[in-house]
Structure 1
Amino acid sequence: MQTQTERYAALDLGSNSFHLLLAEFRGQRMVRLHTDHAMVRLAEGLDAERNLDPAISERALAALNRFQPVLAKLPKDHIRVVGTNTLRTAAANADGFLEEAESILGVPVEIISGIEEARLIYSGVMAAAGGAPRLRCIIDIGGGSTEIVRGCETPERLQSQYMGCVSYSKRYFADGIISRHSVNHFKRAQRAARAELQGLQHMAAEAEVVGCSGSIKAVARVLNGSEAKDIKREDIDRLAQEVAGAEHIADLNLPNLHEKRLPVFAAGLAILHAIFCELDIQRMEVSPYAIREGIVHDLAGRLHGGDRRADTVTAVMQRWQIDTNQARRVSDTALKLLQQLRPEYPPEGRQRLRWAIQLHEVGLALTHSSFRKLGAFMIKHADLAGFSRGEQEYLSYLVRNQRGRIKHPKEHYGFHPSPDLLLCLRLGCIIHRDRTERTLRGINLADQGDAYRLQIEREWLDSNPAIEELLYQEELHWQSQTCPLRLLAV
């Protein structure tokens, strides 16, 4: 349970805008203390090769410099920065930008999947929802993607579609033209959005529909004024017809629309109207909360016994019938070895090792001969609630390299695997290869500076001859590593 005045910060690096939220919990109630945003339009700077335009990057970094003083006042574990659609798309080519962003903010940028983005949006909107639990469909139109979630007390179905107000503006309204020479770009954008929504009609069926974030709020303000709480079907039909009849975005004269929102308004409206039509929505409430509030709630949970990632790992273990006794044996031994090796190892690293071990045999549910490769693939590409893409890649690397030849990773932003964790995991797997309980009495792991030293009493080795041979093989596997392993029998 959080203390009365613990403060948290969430920073959402979206495809259209960057949003900062500073909040604190007073009992169980979250109070927003400070908000800030910058219209960066990161998606505009993404070229065909998924590279970020330097001018857009500079604009984005300038916004981060503005946010930094707020973050500097908080403990690092009370801050979470997430990157969404554009950074997901450009992640392989954005190392330089991400490194500069981390240098400014002092905390890492976590790239999250579309499904994880949808989960956090749901969590944020539900934080503002009152009354008895009821079925809801929550919709968020971002700059590069649109998230749709259906659920009651927890999200039951999550979707992330590749359509957003910036990406559609770039594709259909690049020159600002809406309709000219019998070509209606607004209607083309609508048709494209409806095509993306095929098969999702069930998401809003019999549910209370709630919209959030910039594009939906902008439409609500245009229709009903600055205090708009909902959007009605007949009103958005009329607005869509009006905008589709304009020749150029500059011709639009819409009440309560901020000038910075104008360049992407037509695209956002086209997507929203398509959602109303395709999902047969008659009314949509507008929520003041969105992903940032979800991030804050998630972050508070991590620090106070409600880490969603732990729940996810448990669910995966149950689904794939992982041997929990073996996971416990290997985990206990690996963590004890890590304690010998690095007594002050950070808690998040210990947790990462524990999760990797709990999942290290997930591939056995489908194959024996290639279970490591399959397990690593499953972990890397699954939608694991609560985890960032970087965290999943790290777990995948550890699972892939739990035995045999060590594959050298291609390091990039946010992925710098520790040989300490890998060594302890591999040794734990060796010691319990036959799924037998063993103690570490007579075993010591240490760092000699130029090599790891694994010292084992001869009596222990004599009583476990098969493991002795595996340990000598392990010594060979580490010969090519920066810090080799030396086995010393005493």
Structure 2
Amino acid sequence: MPDLERYAALDLGSNSFHLLLAEFRDQRMVRLHTDRSMVRLAEGLDEERNLAPAIAERALAALHRFRPVLTELPTDHIRCVGTNTLRTAANADGFLESAESILGVPIEIISGIEEARLIYSGAMAAADGPPRLRCIVDIGGGSTELVRGREVPHRLQSLYMGCVSFSKRFFADGILSTNTVNHFERARRAARAELQELQHLAENAEVVGCSGTVKAVARVLNGGELSAIKREDIDKLAEQVAGARHIADLKLPDLDEERHPVFAAGLAILHAIFCELDIQSMQVSPYAIREGIVHDLAGRLHGGDRRADTVATLMHDGKVDAAQARRVGDTALDLLNKLRPDTPADQRQRLRWAAQLHQIGLALSHSNFRKLGAYMVEQSDLAGFSKNEQEHIAHLVRNQRGRIKPRREHYGFRPNPDLLLCLRLACIVHRDHTDRAVNDLELKARDDRYRLRIPQEWLEKNPAIEDLLYQEVDHWQSQPLMLKLDAV
């Protein structure tokens, strides 16, 4: 199998960083190399959600170790995702900049719901037998994901509880119980409170657990094997841990030393899930988010991009005029080809999606459709998209016409004015929802301005568009690159 069919997935989790190198053979994924570093990123967050420098350095050192595996792969065969801690860290920008310079690929911060979707995809890749209703459980360092589905996920949940965050909250000094307070019981009750109204997720479903906490509990209960976790066994284990005085007192068989400090917190969450969802048995999956990322990557490159399905669903639900979305998208891309013929494929695709969604807010309001559309794109849980991608598309949707609203740039968000100009011009050309060719238009970029050259005859045929174009020139006067219109 050529290297072009190899993929790498990096999961920058709150407890550990994981790397997976895999390839597909006869449409079957084969894991070639795995690596893990227990960085406990969530441990480094202070009360103001700032990441401690020492923890950041520990995490960057792990990425240096991962880097050699990535050097021979095309960048579009690599996907690196950041989860709960990087979603919440107030000072994540500096860390992300350093991390990306080490890895040589962008890091995508994903929502909890997108994390759940990828976990489900990974677990399903390892599932045997005919499709059946399943409930997938994954306890991470900073969040816990639960998914109910059959062939596709039907319900996705991401809860703000994880083995590292609960360790900091309930077992910061390592004490499990005292004469007056049982901290393990407090942690379990807190987890059960988070699970309220989710009891139905496991109803009539096969329950499957993924990742470190579930695997650690399975090994402790089953002599080192990843066999099913039975209710009566985890009840006894939880009782044993709840009766211990200190984490250091836990002498459990087949427990990885690196997992030891967060084991009690993870067990409290897992046992709460068993109790609250009335689970009697949980199978253990060898796959999780990393395998889901690899399958997602392969789909993007072979015509199965989940993001395209998400956009199509949004267009349908928002009653978007598909013909107008096509017109604007085609013209925007034609103009971009004239302006920057070497624009990367991901930027072109971003422009296409923005054109498809530029009128989505009309289903709610005619006067505020741009603002509402941008809000919907940025704040919704969009399957397949990173938070950065949503922010970029929302910026385009918000600024498709009128005054260009400034927005603070930050790491991961550097708006591309080329895309914005081409979208805005395409919206002007097709403001009346009419097909109109732009073959005779020339669009170039100079050092300090864009230049749009239009035949006078074309303008005379479209007088309303001429006025809109001169208004557009005015809107770009305050931008770093101004727009000049030449009628020839």
8 A contact 1:65–1:104 mirrored in 2: yes
State the Cα distance separating 1:382 from its structure 2 match: 0.2
Instruction: Report if the CA contact (8 A) 1:124-1:295 is conserved.
Output: yes
1:287 aligns to what? 285
How far has the Cα of 1:210 moved from its partner?
0.1
**8 A contact 2:4–2:73 mirrored in 1:** no
Secondary structure of residue in 2 paired with 1:148: strand
1:266-415 to structure 2, matched below 5 A, reads 266-415=264-413
- Give the CA RMSD over aligned residues: 1.0
Match of 2:239 in 1: 241
**How many angstroms does 1:330 deviate by?**
0.6
Equivalent of 2:186, from 160, 185, 188? 188
Amino acid of the structure 1 residue aligned with 2:79: R
Distance 1:4 1:38, change over 3 A: closer
Q: Give the corresponding residue for 2:82.
A: 83
Deviation at 1:194, TM superposition (A): 0.3
Match of 1:45 in 2: 44
1:29 is aligned to: 28
In the alignment, the residues of structure 2 paired with residue 127 and residue 83 of structure 1 have an alpha-carbon distance, to the nearest angstrom, of: 22
Return the offset for 1:448: 2.2
Q: How many angstroms does 1:135 deviate by?
A: 0.3
Which structure 2 residues correspond to residues 95-134 of structure 1 after superposition, within 5 A? 95-134=93-132
In the other structure, the counterpart of 1:168 is 166
In the TM superposition, residue 181 of structure 1 has moved relative to its aligned partner by 2.5
1:417 is displaced (CA, Å) by 1.1
How much does 1:442 deviate?
2.3
Q: CA deviation digits over 1:397-434, x for unaligned, max 9?
A: 00000011111221111111110000000000001111
Amino acid at match of 2:443: L
Percent sequence identity is: 75
Residue 226 of structure 1 and its aligned partner are, at CA, apart by 1.8
Q: SS of the residue aligned with 2:353?
A: helix
CA distance in 2, matches of 1:3, 1:263: 42
The aligned counterpart of 1:157 is: 155
One-letter amino acid of the structure 1 residue matched with residue 171 of structure 2:
F
Opposite residue 49 of structure 2, the aligned amino acid is R
Which string of whole-angstrom CA distances, capped at 9 and with x for unpartnered residues, describes residues 342-361 of structure 1? 11111111100000010011
One-letter amino acid of the structure 2 residue matched with residue 202 of structure 1 = H
Residue 66 of structure 1 pairs with residue 52 of structure 2: no
Instruction: Give the aligned residue type for 1:289.
Output: Y
> Any idea what the Cα deviations from partners look like across 1:191-235, whole Å, max 9, x if unmatched?
000000000011000000000100010000000022222100000
* Structure 1 residue ranges, 4+ long, deviating more than 2 angstroms after superposition: 2-5
Q: How far apart, in 2, do the equivalents of 1:182 and 1:427 lie?
A: 70
Cα-to-partner distance string for 1:6-47 (whole Å, 9 max, x where unaligned): 110000000000000000001210000000000000000011
* 2:326 maps to amino acid: R
- What are the Cα deviations for residues 50-104 of structure 1, in whole angstroms up to 9, with x where unaligned? 11000000000000000000011211111000000000011x4211100000000
CA contact 1:204–1:279 (8 Å) conserved in 2? yes
Q: Map Cα deviations across residues 239-272 of structure 1 (whole Å, 9 max, x no partner).
A: 0000000000000010000111111000000000
Q: 5 Å matches for 1:427-446?
A: 427-446=425-444
Letter in 2 for 1:71: L
**CA distance in structure 1 between the aligned counterparts of 2:460 and 2:400, rounded to whole angstroms:** 25
Q: Secondary structure at the match of 1:180?
A: coil
Q: What's the TM-score once normalised by structure 1's chain length?
A: 0.99
Q: 186, 203, 220: which one pairs with 1:205?
A: 203
Distance change (3 Å), C-alpha of 1:5 and 1:415: closer
For residue 10 of structure 1, give the secondary structure of its aligned residue in structure 2.
strand
State whether residues 4 and 27 of structure 1, in contact with CA within 8 Å, keep that contact through their aligned partners in structure 2. Answer: no
- Within 5 Å, which residues of 2 pair with 1:422-461? 422-461=420-459
Aligned partners of 2:445 and 2:160: how far apart in 1? Answer: 48
CA distance in 2, matches of 1:321, 1:229: 48
Shift of 1:5: 6.6
CA-to-aligned-CA distance 1:447-490 (integer Å, 9 cap, x gap): 12221010011111111111111100000000111110000001
Which string of whole-angstrom CA distances, capped at 9 and with x for unpartnered residues, describes residues 156-193 of structure 1?
A: 10000000000000000000000012200000000000
C-alpha separation in 2, matches of 1:319 and 1:262: 47
> Does the 8 A contact of 1:5 with 1:25 survive in 2?
no
Q: Partners of 2:371 and 2:42 in 1: how far apart? A: 34
**Secondary structure, aligned partner of 2:478:** coil
Alpha-carbon distance in 1 for matches of 2:19, 2:169: 28
CA distance in 2, matches of 1:330, 1:242: 64
Aligned partners of 2:362, 2:57: CA distance in 1, in Å?
47
- Taking the aligned partners of 1:448 and 1:290, their CA distance within structure 2 comes to 49
Cα distance in 2 for partners of 1:387, 1:480 equals: 31
Determine the C-alpha separation between the residues in 2 that align with 1:479 and 1:154.
Answer: 49
Cα distance in structure 2, aligned partners of 1:225 and 1:16: 24
What is aligned with 2:419?
421
Distance change >3 Å, CA 104–CA 190, structure 1 → 2:
same
Unaligned runs of at least 5 residues, structure 2: none
SS of the aligned residue for 2:477 comes to coil
CA contact (8 A) 1:87 1:94 kept: yes
Structure 1 equivalent of residue 483 of structure 2? 485
1:128-175 per-residue CA deviation (whole Å, 9 max, x = no partner) reads 011100000000000000000000000010000000000000000000
The residue identity in structure 1 corresponding to 2:123 is: V
C-alpha contact (below 8 Å) 1:5/1:26 kept by paired residues: no
1:4 CA displacement: 8.9
| Residue 214 (structure 1) aligned with residue 212 (structure 2) | yes
Q: 1:298-347: CA deviations, max 9, x gaps?
A: 00111111100001000110111100010011111110000001111111
- Contact 1:14–1:42 (CA<8 Å) still a contact in 2? yes
Provide the C-alpha distance between the structure 2 equivalents of 1:94 and 1:36, rounded to a whole number of angstroms: 23
Q: 2-side partners of 1:433 and 1:355: how far apart? A: 18
Letter in 2 for 1:353: L
Q: Which amino acid aligns with 2:31?
A: R
